Chain A
Amino acid sequence: MEFGRLFELFIAASLINNFVFTRYLGLCIFFGVTKKMDTAIGMSVTFTSVMVISAALNWIIYKFIMIPLGLGFLEIVIFIGVVAGFVQAADTIMKKVSPGLYYKLGIYLALITTNCIILAVPLLNAGEGYNFIQSMVFGLGSGIGFSLAMIIMASIREKLELADVPKSFQGLPISFIITGLIALAFLGFSGLITL
């Protein structure tokens, strides 16, 4: 297949249209879990895998159930149902099959269901009319992009603990300003690939 096209899609999803820095999605989780490096990494792994799998699942349901039945207008209700069901299933299966992994990543799974990024991926896939492979690559690219953002932010915030920030700006306000600065750097990626 056109490998080059897929690679472009991947780069576009992860860097140019990075979810945090140019689409401004997933900020709640982004600011919530980036206080420590460990949690940021755990979240990245969980997020990326859930994103790829939910992109695939939702594509199948969209293509083979919703389009033939003319249910396109119910996409929000159906996608959120699928994601919630899948996350719940993953949670239960992981608890039985590998308790070690569950102990490490289980808490993040619970947070994922109501996250805007997880829902945005299938919605964007449906809107852009990507095929199965493209949807998964888009999910993977978005997941990697989000992980990159979280890891950059976590490493900065760990240093920030030692900085002397004015009292009213401590915590979230200063994090927002830092994110703004990183977003400024990410603007440099725009125009890297013209789709």
Chain B
Amino acid sequence: MSNAENKVSYIGLIKNGIFAENPIFRVALSLCPAVAVTSGVKNGFMMGLAVLFVQVMVNVTTSVVRKFIHPKVRIPSYMFIIATWVTVTDLSMAAYVRDVYAQMGLYIKLIVAFAIILSRAELFASKHKVTPSFFDGLGMGIGFLFALVIIGFFRELLGKGSLWGYPIVNTKPLLIMILPTGGFFAVGILMGLFNWIDMKFFGGGGASGGGH
């Protein structure tokens, strides 16, 4: 974890987001999009990009205004910061990537309710200067993107036999992987795999977070 508070290395922050505290596989926060938008690599990537942008901007904004916010109203203030940046993302995506937006517009709007973004603003950005907050946001965002792309990769490959819309294998696809059910299976199995790797090679305790 972040025990070296005074000399935070930026690379370390990014690594932390991708492996040690990967939002989906390790901390198990914000699970809805992990299942909802990962029926293909492209959607997963776009969603990850949106979250990355929102997370970075929210962290930076929170960090800039952290001295002016009274502790009692901090959570509502963070909510409004998040809601503003999500609106920006939502409207930009509606304008520029219409085909993706048509499929997952609702989920883009719901980035506002992602626990991961609020929790990083509260746990990290509200206590650190702008630059470390920026890198923390970047790390978390990349970790999120990475998780969504991996899930999307398996689901699209098995469910449609293609990647990013291009056909790869010619066998009969496993339709179940792109149905709702497949999303739950894929996340469950990958999460179990991450726990197994953690226990086998890094001596971790297994069992990821309580889910919230």
Contact = CB atoms under 8 A, between A and B. Distances in A.
Interface of A: 21-29, 31-32, 73-77, 80-81, 84, 113-116, 118-120, 123-124, 127, 166-177, 179-181, 183-184, 186-187
Contacts of A21: 180
B112 A76 contact: yes
A32 B27 CA distance: 13
A173 B181 contact: no
Instruction: Identify whether the interface residues of A are mostly helix, strand, loop, or mixed.
Output: helix
Contacts of B35: 24, 27
Interface stretch (B57-65, B125-133, B186-194): B186-194
B9 interface: no
B90 A76 contact: yes
Most B CB contacts (10 A, CB to CB) among A31, A84, A177 go to A177
Given A114-B115, A120-B110, A24 B188 contact: no
Contacts, number: 141
22 contacts: A25-B32, A28-B30, A28-B31, A28-B32, A28-B211, A32-B212, A74-B87, A76-B83, A77-B84, A80-B113, A116-B113, A118-B113, A124-B106, A168-B206, A169-B192, A172-B28, A173-B189, A173-B191, A173-B208, A180-B180, A181-B181, A186-B180
A184 B181 contact: yes
Given A31-B31, A171-B207, A180 B185 contact: yes
Contact of B185 (A115, A167, A177, A187): A177
Nearest to B200: A168
A74 B195 CA distance: 41
Most B CB contacts (10 A, CB to CB) among A22, A76, A127 go to A76
Given A76-B86, A180-B184, 11 more contacts: A24-B183, A31-B31, A115-B113, A169-B195, A171-B207, A173-B189, A174-B192, A176-B188, A176-B191, A181-B181, A186-B180
Contacts of A124: 106
A183 B110 contact: no
B179 interface: yes
A170 B187 CA distance: 14
Contacts of A173: 188-189, 191-192, 195, 208
Contacts of B183: 24, 180
